[in-house]
Chains A and B, each alone.
Chain A
Amino acid sequence: METLAYAAGYAVFRWQQGRQGDVVSEPQRWTVLAAAAVGALVGSRLLGIAEQWPTVLEAWRTRKLAALLFAPGGKTIVGGLLGGWLGVEIAKRLSGIKQRTGDLFALPLCVGIAVGRVGCLLAGLADDTYGKPTSLPWAVNLGDGIGRHPVQVYEILFLMVVGAVVSSKVKLPEGARFRIFLGSYLAWRVAIDFLKPQPLVAGMNLIQWCCVAGLLLLALDFSRGGKAHDEQTAD
């Protein structure tokens, strides 16, 4: 399902690129893609491990931290998004790309994450993304006899709405579609993760704290972008 998620995301990306063109040249786009892939890999892995911090503490005590780092599994979407974003910003600075390159990623990310969430639901309890117990009529039993919030389905529905917004034909400034996607997804994860049984740090899990940090960075980037735009128009 994860492979299908990547394939679906890439297919949508190519379709959009062919339909509306690209703001950067093909080699520059590949630089951005490579930076996003490596950044996402590192970010999702690091946060995936950190999310299970009691296991990390235990590994630290038993001196098995290196084994944990290279153990299979344990990745998160939020880590992937933030790591990918950071990777792209670094690569753009190094290679002198000035344009906003994220718009073409907004819809593919919605599709890719939604397909991936189907996989999370099918994997059940093994995937570690299930919801808290509930008595609501649409609760799902993932094999342990307990009715739970189908948080994966909630997320798919949410992504359908965001996908419709970011693919609308309304004229938006360059980079706005990606920022709408990222901001809304991070805010969504802050809210929905309260329905997931994860270890908490000061009232929220580590992913929620990272989402808050990501939202603050996004707000900072937005205010800087606004100032830069004002200066450009003044000139």
Chain B
Amino acid sequence: MLKKNDIAPDFTLFATPDQKITLSDFKGKNVILAFYPADWSPVCSDQMALYNEMLQFFKKYDAEIFGISVDSKWCHMAFSQSRNLHFPLLADFEPKGEISKKYGVYNETEGECNRALFVIDKEGMIQWSYLSPMAINPGANGILEALEKL
């Protein structure tokens, strides 16, 4: 798994059925990458739903957040609509898990991403990373503490 002072590998992934997002387009902004196993985990403890409530906090630190899983763009669209999410979910779908593998957070046994967080600074350098146990939603305090230190 990549860690502090590693260069964040660039990528271009579908964010909606007809729109792609490229990481390097966000140079000059802080970026949070939240890799998570799958869409449709139980509602109230859902990690993405929590981050959705926190966008104003992230904005204070000039940070954009992207969720990433191996689900397809269509699956992300349905999930995003059902949870009223206001930030992009990226589809690491084809080739499956390619970006997760580059970040060292792909789980070969499950065929899913691990639950992992990265905070990337304005120059594209990873400043903080965290691997959470699969079943535990890591919350957001680690992200905020990392943004605070930038």
- Chain B binds chain A: no
Chain A interface residues (CB < 8 Å from chain B)? none
